[in-house]
Amino acid sequence: MNSKDNYEERTEKLLQPITDALNFKIVDVEYVKEGSDYYLRAYIDKEGGITVDDCEKVSRKLEEELDREDFIASAYILEVSSPGLGRQLKKEKHFLSNIGEKVDVRLYKALDGVKEFTGVLKSYENGNFVFECDGKDIPLEQAAISKINLHFEF
């Protein structure tokens, strides 16, 4: 496990009791470098949506825990936010919890002349997806997919 994965996993363990106490759920935790800065981002959600006050409350509590544990070697910026309406699905738990949802799929290479489509995520198992698009099932391996986002209509 690399330090990025370790930081994300340990942060999620610190975050879990905080979100449980507030009846929120953890959508994702990511540790990324953008330019010269490192960011530790926690995405949270709840029934009815997350407010700025919710993010601030979780951020304060998480910051206390991170300061106490002090396991991230370099300086970083902590951000706690809502995952957004058209959030990207990246992890197995995201795929499994969104079965039956409409998603936007982008492929690395075109399939039958199509590189992007919107469909329903029907199943996910061991890196294999099935999407339903226009009444037709489309089986795809995860390696063929560059990005999957929840579909959002304005």
Measured between alpha carbons, how far is residue 134 from residues 68, 118, 138 in Å?
52, 9, 10
pLDDT of 128: 95
Phi, psi of 23 (to 5 degrees): 60, 40
Dump pLDDT digits (tens) for 27-46. 999 999 999 999 999 999 99
Q: The pTM is what? A: 0.75
Long-range contacts of residues 127-134, Cβ cutoff 8 Å, at least 24 apart: 129/95, 131/103, 131/105
Query: What pLDDT was estimated at residue 1?
Result: 65
Q: Which amino acid makes up residue 91?
A: K
Q: What pLDDT does residue 3 have? A: 82
**Cβ atoms of residues 119 and 86 within 8 Å:** no
Q: Minimal CA–CA distance to 99: which of 89, 85, 107?
A: 89
User: Where do the domains of the chain lie?
Assistant: 3-81, 92-150
- 3-81 maps to CATH 2.60.40.10: no
Question: What's the pLDDT at 153?
Answer: 77
Instruction: Name residues of the chain where pLDDT drops below 50.
Output: none
Which superfamily does 92-150 belong to? Ribosome maturation factor RimP, C-terminal domain (2.30.30.180)
pLDDT at 68: 95
Say what angle helices 3-22 and 52-69 make with each other, to 10 degrees. 130
